[in-house]
Amino acid sequence: MELMLSAIKPTGDLTLGNYIGAIKNFVKLQDDYNLFVFVADLHALTVRNNKEDLNRWIKEVAAIYIACGLDPNKATIFNQSDLPQHAYLGYILTCESYMGELSRMTQFKDKSARGNNESIGVGLFIYPTLMAADILLYDAKYVPVGEDQTQHVELTRDLASRFNHYYGETFVIPKAIVAEKGARIMALDDPLKKMSKSELGDNKGSIRLLDDVKTIRKKIMSAVTDSDNLVKYDIENKPGISNLMTIYSSLTNKSYDEIEDEFRDGGYGNFKKAVADVVVEEVSKIQVKFNEIIKGDYLDKVLKEGALKAGAIASKKIDEVKRKLGLII
């Protein structure tokens, strides 16, 4: 089976965007690929966190993977910082990268456009080279991600080709897999902005997978829409309704045409209520499993086993890279 790899950064409570854009696809793909999925906790260090929050988020990501249906007997699930090989290859790939290409990475570009470069952390600047290491360490052929991560996979491809060119065939060139639908779920309070886990506080724009049912309903019922009361998919002119349609469609597998027919006479109130119903149904199932998994030491066991399996592959790759570079092994 071909190797497929992806990860989530524990920088907040996971959202419906993470679920629809990423986790739900991992679950679907685990039967057909040798799937590696990890918690990208080193990536979380590019921003300053309170250690209790970070610790909780790390466990939360791992537990949510399993609660959403990832099966540790099929997929290899681990925590990035358990394997020093990631940071090791990250350093080597940083040495292969150019200031210019890293300056063009959206996250850094956005932040530097907003303020003073002097105080942007270097970790944020080189974050994409660590992500490249995450992927190349395992010779992953496919990387399922939401739309915002495709630029990083492109950089990974460039770095892999560059390394192969200078030091001989070493890395598999990976390919991003972006779902046709749901690769960019937008914020409910501002459908021009991506739904994000990193906003703290009450975050009306994001449905958190661990939000209580009442909060979820409230957030969906007060989602920002236009006022023409017509349920129609039109991303340009009706971004709010189109976003809700994408959510509904992703969770029910109904097409946009079917949804338009279903709510032709119902107006926005009925439609929002239907969206809330399917989200609540899906999220409730996840929460029940999550609450079981987070107790006891099952999660520790899964992560340890995952790290052992991933570590064996990663160490071999590091040896190969060292040999290619002329470092002594």
The residues that touch ligand TYM, with contacts defined as CB under 6 A, are: 5-9, 17-18, 21-22, 40, 43, 131, 134-135, 143, 145-146, 148-149, 183-185, 194-195
To ligand TYM, the closest distance from the beta carbon of 19 in angstroms equals: 8
Which residue bears the tokens 């990974």? 156
Residue 46 corresponds to which tokens in the numbers above? Answer: 């590019």
To ligand TYM, the closest distance from the beta carbon of 328 in angstroms equals: 29
To ligand TYM, the closest distance from the beta carbon of 288 in angstroms equals: 22
Q: Do 4 and 29 touch, CB atoms closer than 8 A?
A: yes
To ligand TYM, the closest distance from the beta carbon of 111 in angstroms equals: 14
Which residue bears the tokens 């944020």? 124
Which of 135, 231 has the CB closer to ligand TYM? 135
Which of 7, 293 has the CB closer to ligand TYM? 7
Instruction: Give the whole-angstrom CA distance, residue 226 versus residue 203.
Output: 21
Q: Is 322 a catalytic residue?
A: no
Instruction: Give the whole-angstrom CA distance, residue 92 versus residue 33.
Output: 28
To ligand TYM, the closest distance from the beta carbon of 43 in angstroms equals: 5
Q: Which of 111, 254, 309, 324 is catalytic?
A: 111
Q: Do 49 and 12 touch, CB atoms closer than 8 A?
A: no
Rg (CA), the chain: 21
Q: Which of 59, 197, 219, 238 is catalytic?
A: 197
Which of 105, 280 has the CB closer to ligand TYM? 105
Angle between helices 213-221 and 267-293 (to 10 degrees): 150
Which of 65, 268 has the CB closer to ligand TYM? 65
Residue type, 121: G
Which of 5, 67 has the CB closer to ligand TYM? 5
Q: Is 295 a catalytic residue?
A: no
Q: Which of 9, 24, 59, 194 is catalytic?
A: 194
**Reduced to 3 states, what is the DSSP secondary structure of residue 155?**
helix
Which of 143, 220 has the CB closer to ligand TYM? 143
Distances in Å between the Cα of 76 and the Cα atoms of 26, 30, 39, 296, 328 are 11, 10, 11, 20, 30
CB-based contacts of 236: which residues, under 8 Å, 6+ apart?
A: none
Chain residue whose CB lies nearest ligand TYM: 21
Distances in Å between the Cα of 48 and the Cα atoms of 120, 149, 289 are 12, 21, 30
Instruction: Give the whole-angstrom CA distance, residue 107 versus residue 284.
Output: 33
Pair type for strands 76-79 and 34-39: parallel
To ligand TYM, the closest distance from the beta carbon of 180 in angstroms equals: 12
To ligand TYM, the closest distance from the beta carbon of 160 in angstroms equals: 13
Q: What is the DSSP letter of 3?
A: E
Which of 134, 139 has the CB closer to ligand TYM? 134
| 34 beta partners | 3
Angle between helices 85-95 and 122-136 (to 10 degrees): 110
Q: Is 238 a catalytic residue?
A: no
* Catalytic (active-site) positions: 111, 194, 197
